[in-house]
């Protein structure tokens, strides 16, 4: 890897992308390296850098599947592998002219210290550029998942598997949630229309708007004034499943970065909302978001850094929104590094943690109170099966069925799958404490 330590400033854009892909391959999350890496890239190139990095990760296993037959022996070199996938992604998935994609990617391989192997990169990319249609078909026909995840999804969703695999390869739409305390959705759509920003209302969320083009959201009208937040459409359904929370005490467990807490405060006037999370850094985001949205003025909000498996409130509460830690397979379109970072062994660990939090949080709920269990996973072991075990162990728990025109009814709760041009994969189950 020492060859890769050449001065970052002198590297071309593709080499910068490869360095980011290498960081993810070595176990770092995209969120932890993105800002550091993107700052080295010139401002005019940042959009392309972002697209190439996320696109490559989204198509990683599909690119791997079509590359293997082109190699006489395994590359055994992560940097070269990243160069190849990046070149292929540009040729097969973007409008970048093939000659530009090839020359820039080959240069990147040389800049990163792999000149002897750059001929191989050049030869493979040229072949693919001559047979683009065949390779595009092959790419589309791959499931694009690590094998362990493919097997799990096959077991859970055999009848929907092709659709799920294809949808997880797509770019997730940019969805806003309008702050009802300031403006209605129709009013905000009119403002966007006046600014010639293409947008459409969400179908399931009554405060959601999908932007047809991505861009810097801080430049949208009303951002500074707190007119909207960015939140997935399926995540916005949370508040529609809650009872009237006016004058009630609520815990938003695992609250960061605060989308659900903000939505609750936009919709209700609670007596108190406790935003709980173990990550102090991410909790800062909650404070910042509530401040921007002007939701911390009238409401009593307590932001607490603590462990949801042990923390105890001063008194029992009326409602708990538990957005449980999970594998996040349902939001893989937005966080494509999950494809490379998540391992099969992680799943049982996360299921055990969910169980601990559920068990402890349940004890903090008043009789008659509601717990809304949420994950952004589509694995049944974290969702339906977790709930089957919970109800078997808690005689004082009763499911309040979700009667809705969305998602798929499960033994307990409802499951939303990632949909092209719509929301991500979310699971909801509503539980009432009866004794």
Other CB atoms within a 10 A radius of the CB of residue 196 amount to 6
- Start-to-end Cα distance in the chain: 61
Strand partners, 272: 249
DSSP track, 116-129: HHHHHHHHHHHHHH
Rg (CA), the chain: 23
Structure tokens at 386: 């977790």
Answer for the pair 170, 334: CB distance below 8 angstroms, yes or no: no
- For 137, phi then psi, to 5°, come to -60, -45
Q: Is 376 one of the catalytic residues? A: yes
Answer for the pair 292, 265: CB distance below 8 angstroms, yes or no: no
Contacts of 219 (CB under 8 A, 6+ apart): none
Coil, strand, or helix at residue 39?
Answer: coil
Strands (E), 167-269: 174-178, 199-201, 208-211, 228-230, 249-253
Other CB atoms within a 10 A radius of the CB of residue 63 amount to 27
Structure tokens at 147: 């094998």
- For 159, phi then psi, to 5°, come to -75, -15
319, 326, 376, 429: the catalytic one is 376
432 membership: H or E segment, kind and range: strand 426-433
The angle that helices 13-25 and 78-93 make with each other, rounded to 10 degrees, is 120
Closest among 296, 321, 293 to 229, alpha carbons compared: 293
The DSSP output letter for 271 is: S
Strand partners, 432: 370, 398
Structure tokens at 311: 């923390």
Answer for the pair 336, 89: CB distance below 8 angstroms, yes or no: no
Strands (E), 295-406: 301-305, 317-323, 365-375, 397-399
Task: Give Cα 90 to chain centroid, integer Å.
Answer: 23
Angstrom distance (rounded) from CA 146 to CA 353: 23
Coil, strand, or helix at residue 276?
Answer: strand
- Catalytic positions, written as ranges: 376
């Amino acid at each position: 890897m020492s060859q890769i330590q050449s001065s970052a400033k002198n590297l071309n854009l593709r080499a910068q992308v490869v360095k980011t892909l290498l960081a993810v391959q070595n176990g770092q999350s995209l969120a932890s390296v993105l800002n550091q890496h993107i700052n080295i890239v010139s401002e005019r190139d940042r959009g392309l850098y972002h697209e190439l990095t996320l696109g490559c990760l989204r198509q990683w296993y599909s690119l791997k599947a079509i590359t293997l037959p082109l190699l006489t022996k395994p590359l055994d070199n992560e940097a070269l592998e990243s160069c190849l996938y990046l070149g292929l992604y540009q040729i097969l998935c973007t409008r970048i002219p093939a000659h530009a994609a090839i020359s820039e990617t080959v240069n990147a391989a040389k800049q990163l210290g792999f000149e002897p192997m750059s001929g191989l990169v050049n030869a493979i990319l040229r072949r693919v550029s001559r047979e683009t249609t065949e390779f595009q078909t092959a790419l589309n026909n791959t499931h694009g998942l690590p094998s362990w995840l493919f097997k799990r999804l096959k077991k859970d969703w055999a009848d929907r598997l092709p659709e799920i695999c294809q949808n997880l390869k797509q770019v997730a739409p940019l969805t806003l949630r309008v702050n009802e305390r300031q403006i209605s959705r129709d009013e905000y759509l009119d403002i966007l229309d006046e600014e010639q920003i293409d947008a459409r209302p969400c179908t399931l969320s009554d405060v959601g708007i999908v932007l047809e083009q991505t861009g810097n959201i801080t430049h949208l009208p009303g951002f500074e004034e707190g007119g909207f937040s960015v939140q997935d459409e399926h995540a916005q359904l949370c508040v529609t499943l809650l009872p009237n929370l006016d004058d009630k005490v609520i815990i938003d467990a695992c609250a960061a970065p605060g989308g659900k807490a903000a939505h609750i405060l936009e919709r209700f006037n609670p007596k108190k909302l406790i935003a709980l999370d173990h990550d102090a850094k991410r909790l800062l985001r909650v404070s910042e978001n509530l401040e921007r949205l002007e939701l911390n003025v009238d409401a009593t909000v307590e932001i607490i850094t603590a462990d949801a498996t042990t923390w105890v409130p001063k008194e029992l509460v009326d409602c708990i929104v538990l957005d449980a830690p999970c594998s996040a397979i349902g939001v893989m379109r937005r966080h494509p590094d999950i494809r490379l970072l998540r391992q099969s062994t992680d799943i049982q660990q996360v299921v055990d943690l969910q169980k601990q939090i559920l068990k402890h949080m349940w004890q903090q709920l008043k009789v008659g109170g509601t717990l809304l269990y949420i994950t952004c996973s589509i694995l049944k072991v974290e969702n339906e099966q977790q709930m089957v075990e919970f109800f078997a162990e808690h005689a004082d728990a009763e499911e309040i069925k979700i009667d809705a025109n969305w998602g798929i009814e499960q033994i307990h709760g409802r499951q939303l799958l990632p949909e092209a041009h719509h929301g991500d994969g979310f699971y909801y189950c509503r539980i009432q404490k009866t004794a």
